[in-house]
Amino acid sequence: MAVYTEVSDDDLACFIARYDLGTLLSFKGIAEGVENTNYLLHTTGGTFILTIYEKRVDVADLPFFLGLMEHLAARGVNCPLPVRDTKGNVLNELAGRHAALITFLKGVWPRRPKVEHCLELGKALARMHLAGEDFPLQRPNALGLSGWRPLFEKFAARTDEISAGLHELISSELRYLEQSWPNDLPQGVIHADLFPDNVFFIDDKLSGIIDFYFACNDALAYDIAVCLNAWCFDASSMFVPAKGSALLRGYESVRPLSARERGAMPTLARGAAMRFLLTRSFDWLNTPKDALVARKDPDDYIRRLAFHQSVGSIADYAPQLIS
């Protein structure tokens, strides 16, 4: 979340008038995140998040994102719910851009995830996968395997400005992934970006999942691989087996993995590390130093990828659970 588009008082008043939410009491920008402009709104009818969709978001994808949140919420998944205006619309315009109001979700995200957080996350992720089984819309994963090489080619000539030898590392790893990627795994709707700042907790109990703007259709187990990368390493990018065990134990308590999914986990984890290594590298080289959004160091995912390359089986991620 961030603030790129400023909103005038008059424009905001006209926008809020479309909804049956009472009188506007206050609003302020939310500085976190990278994709869209967000404001926290308080009205006599409650607290809401106003999201203004910036240029990086394809407007054609918004029905998928907003519809998915409605679908999941209706099936008991704790996530924000798009608010419909008096005409039944979830999407409107504000300051020349598409915008939506979303219900406010209570909780805080864990700056240093604990084993207990990982267990709760695994359960919630599995519930989300099951709840999305009958969601009717489809959206391909633009940042899946087929998108990695085209993204790399956009900055390949400058790769070693980030780290010596990174060009060869990415090149060789892409060759491996393109040759070894599993294509026969159970598919469904995945979050695809379930980092700690997208999961809220209250007293170590998961209170909800937010930010579905990378959600898409892909292998369900790939979503677990993203979480292994995002939740189960410490600050120095060392893997923490207790967290991996908790994540997988929580997931399998709700949705047991198939033998194929278990066997594919090391490759999926390498792919997830590659996805974030590529996007971080691109942003590192192309985001102006004075930009509103801080760049994220790609080096974290160089180290994560090296760990995944050493993994022999899913047992290396969850030694306390799987032998």
Q: Round to whole Å and give the CA distance between 134 and 112.
A: 34
Q: Round to whole Å and give the CA distance between 212 and 78.
A: 12
Position 1 scores a pLDDT of 41
CATH architecture designation of domain 9-103:
2-Layer Sandwich (3.30)
The single-letter code of the amino acid at 100 is A
Q: Give me the residue spans of the domains in the chain.
A: 9-103, 115-316
| Full pLDDT tens readout for the chain, 323 residues | 455 678 888 888 889 999 999 988 888 888 665 578 889 999 999 999 999 998 778 889 999 999 999 999 999 999 999 999 999 999 999 988 999 999 999 999 999 999 999 999 999 999 999 999 999 999 999 999 999 999 999 999 999 999 999 999 999 999 999 999 999 999 999 999 999 999 999 988 999 999 999 999 999 999 999 999 999 999 999 999 999 999 999 999 999 999 999 999 999 999 999 999 999 999 999 877 665 666 788 999 999 999 999 999 999 999 876 54
Position 3 scores a pLDDT of 55
In sequence order, the 6+-apart residues with CB closer than 8 A to the CB of 205 are 120
Position 151 scores a pLDDT of 97
Q: Which fold has domain 115-316?
A: Aminoglycoside 3'-phosphotransferase; Chain: A, domain 2 (3.90.1200)
